[in-house]
């Protein structure tokens, strides 16, 4: 996968949604694929987001709500949002308190789809 295409997607999301500060794409086991971060460690974000995603997935299945789409965590200083990118990766977003969560969800859906496709294409190329 083109790291520049991935970074472009992350930077575009930051520009389109007020409040988005940092983001990272990681594998479901917590390895960084790419990041648009300034102040946080992408490795830390990747590892903790993978744990969050795993817990959210398990919870969804256990209570009969099926496949996880996203986890939203609201903190005193802002938000952490983790989106599933298919079954192979995740998108983690860190945002300030001014985030419009609804707008983020609307704007992130095409980004999630494009990132999922980029990762799937890369996986298919690697398996050849």
Extents of the domains making up the chain: 3-126
**Non-local CB neighbours of 104 within 8 Å, separated by 6+ positions:** 17, 19, 20, 81, 93, 95
pTM of structure: 0.93
- Rounded to an integer, the average pLDDT of 86-93 is 95
Taking the C-alpha atoms of residue 39 and residue 57, their distance in angstroms, rounded to an integer, is: 28
Edge-to-edge, what's the strand order for the sheet holding 20-27?
32-36, 20-27, 89-96, 78-85, 70-75
**Fold classification of 3-126 (topology level):** Beta-Lactamase (3.30.450)
Taking only the tens place, the pLDDT of each residue in 32-72 is: 999 999 999 999 999 999 999 999 999 999 999 999 999 99
Predicted pLDDT at 1 = 53
């Amino acid at each position: 996968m083109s790291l520049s295409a991935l970074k472009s997607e992350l930077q575009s999301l930051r520009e389109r949604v007020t409040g988005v500060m940092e983001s990272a794409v990681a594998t479901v086991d917590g390895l960084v694929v790419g990041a648009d971060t300034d102040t946080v460690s992408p490795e830390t974000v990747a590892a903790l987001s993978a744990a969050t995603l795993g817990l959210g997935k398990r919870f969804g299945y256990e209570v009969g709500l099926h496949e996880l789409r996203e986890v939203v965590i609201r903190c005193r200083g802002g938000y952490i949002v983790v989106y599933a990118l298919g079954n192979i990766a995740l998108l983690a977003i860190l945002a300030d308190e001014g985030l419009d969560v609804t707008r983020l969800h609307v704007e992130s859906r095409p980004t999630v789809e494009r990132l999922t496709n980029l990762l799937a294409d890369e996986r298919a190329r690697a398996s050849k």
